[in-house]
Amino acid sequence: MNFKIAVLAGDGIGPEISVQGVNVMAAVCRKFGHTVEFRDALVGAAAIDAVGNPFPDETYDTCRNADAVLFSAVGDPKFDNDPTAKVRPEQGLLAMRKKLGLFANIRPVETFDCLIHKSPLRPELVKGADFICIRELTGGMYFGEKVEGDDRAYDTNAYTRVEIERILRVAYEYAMRRPRHHLTVVDKANVLASSRLWRKIAQEMAPQYPEVTTDFMYVDNAAMRMIQEPTFFDVMVTENTFGDILTDEGSVLTGSMGLLPSASTGESTPVFEPIHGSWPQAKGLDIANPLAQILSVAMLFEYFNLLDEGALVRRAVVASLDANVRTPEIQVAGGRRYGTKEVGEWIVNYIENCK
């Protein structure tokens, strides 16, 4: 396959982990006979500093003309600490999702046996946890009508039938592909009108997928259940705001946010990215974990049905963990402190030399 990949490194640790994802993808493509062309583009604070726009038209054109986007992170303290700022790095991420029609965010939550001890939960609770959170990404409060004043503010949590049906269809399709065929629809239908529409439509669609067991759970209960019994879940689907919170909660089960990738798909070019933020405090220190970025490359290959390529990336990541080639936040006590670059180079070397 001939790949055209837009690379949006962004802010903070983004450039450091981005290059590791690019190097891993290039190594896999060489091994399997694919060609790949990478094209860099600005986003977030870096784009604001350069052109005053967190998602410039040039970046949009680069993404739209690519087969996929490898995105890293946006965010900068100088904007976080200025509540009066009219333009913010995160607006670039929202604009990218909206302009590319990326309505489905796919976040797998999978534990690694060698890192069970890093989870804040007891090992017997978290061991074997393996589920997918599917978050609606372009509707709800993040994109609804907003009013912000000195004495009153509100965000509108609006959803249409079309928006709900299309994300539920994605969720059912994922549930159909998994061995357990289990879908949990997360809402707050006892309080919110928008959630009642979600539940109504899900109940209408469930008979179209008789192989899938569909259940419903209020978001507060789901948040507790993820901590009490994470192995209950197989595929979870929910609206934008709930999904943002629950997926970050799910990431903690693994022991580090630096381990989990994601994909955003929809009407146009798909985007593959780590779930973590820009961690500006670690910028330039060579301590950021690149594994979520690298696992996003695995998801990219799998999206194009290149399963062997994706499996090789995953195998290389597991091998690096088993060999204790790890960045500081997941290293075993007394283990060597590997930097971002060293971890990426080790994985590339594994890919190049494996049979």
Which amino acid is it at 197?
L
Q: Which of 324, 316, 304 is nearest to 20 (CA)?
A: 316
Q: Is 244 assigned a catalytic role?
A: yes
Q: Is 127 assigned a catalytic role?
A: no
Q: Is 248 assigned a catalytic role?
A: yes
Catalytic residue among 60, 142, 172, 174: 142
**How is residue 343 written in tokens?**
């971890």
Catalytic residue among 155, 244, 286, 303: 244
- Are 180 and 234 in contact, with CB atoms under 8 Å apart? yes
Residue 222 CA to residue 338 CA, distance in Å, equals: 36
3-class SS of residue 306 = coil
- Are 106 and 58 in contact, with CB atoms under 8 Å apart? no
Q: What angle do CA 143, 146, 149 make, to 5 degrees?
A: 150
**Around Cβ 50, how many Cβ atoms within 10 Å?**
10
Catalytic residue among 40, 155, 248, 286: 248
Catalytic residue among 118, 172, 174, 188: 188
Residue 79 CA to residue 96 CA, distance in Å, equals: 19
Q: Is 150 assigned a catalytic role?
A: no
Q: Is 341 assigned a catalytic role?
A: no
Catalytic residue among 80, 113, 220, 308: 220
* Catalytic center residues: 142, 188, 220, 244, 248
